[in-house]
Amino acid sequence: MSEKWESMAARELLAAAIAAFHPRIALSTAFGVEGVVIVDILMRIEPRARIFTVDTGRLPPETYALIDAVRARYGCTIDVFFPMAQAVEAMVGNHGVNLFYASVERRKQCCAVRKVEPLGRALAGLQAWITGLRRDQAVTRRDVAKVQVDRDHGGILKLNPLADWSTEDVWRYVRAHDVPYNALHDQGYPSIGCAPCTRAVRPGEDLRAGRWWWEAPESKECGLHLPTAREASS
């Protein structure tokens, strides 16, 4: 079964997943370029496909502009999940609004409150979810399989249809289909997260060097996508 999933092209995998799980499957996207590519493919397969995003409250304005552009382009519904206000207030009250600069522990605490907890609510009741993870994005993602069992969220399937795509593959698709994308990509931001935790990359740096740039590469995950061995469904 592992070889079967790995051999599927992105559209083939998404079409099979939508046929098997819709409406209990959803794309989770922070509206990086991989996410909008998957939106475009999904809308060609099933215009009612579910899409959601987590709004941390610290996103750059360019991301909000893109969300509006995607809604307008595809006529799709995008569900938005926010962190719990009480949890944010307590965290900021105890540690300050920019606690993530203090240590990896504090940064992960912020990600847990602003990202991980809302994601858990977004995935409730789903049988599968879709992400834009690719193996060449970071050292923490080199072993990403196209289909994994997500044991952190009740054993649902986690689909990574672009896992074997290169950066060139992604942008080739964008140009071929005139897919809208975040304006920050043209300003040296290959990976875009919260505004205070993202910077443009320098020549020769890897794709996610601008995310939490003050940390070592092996710690650069927020908790939404923890490194796992390749594990396909059976």
Which residues are the active-site residues?
Answer: 222
Three-state SS at 179 = coil
Q: Half-sphere exposure of residue 81, counting CA atoms within 13 Å on the CB side?
A: 19
Element (H, E) at 128: strand 128-130
Phi then psi for residue 129, to 5 deg, are: -135, 160
Q: Are 100 and 107 in contact (CB under 8 A)?
A: yes
Q: Are 32 and 192 in contact (CB under 8 A)?
A: yes
Angle between helices 104-111 and 85-95 (to 10 degrees): 160
Query: What are the contacts of 184-188 at 24+ separation with CB within 8 A?
Result: 184/60, 184/62, 184/63, 185/33
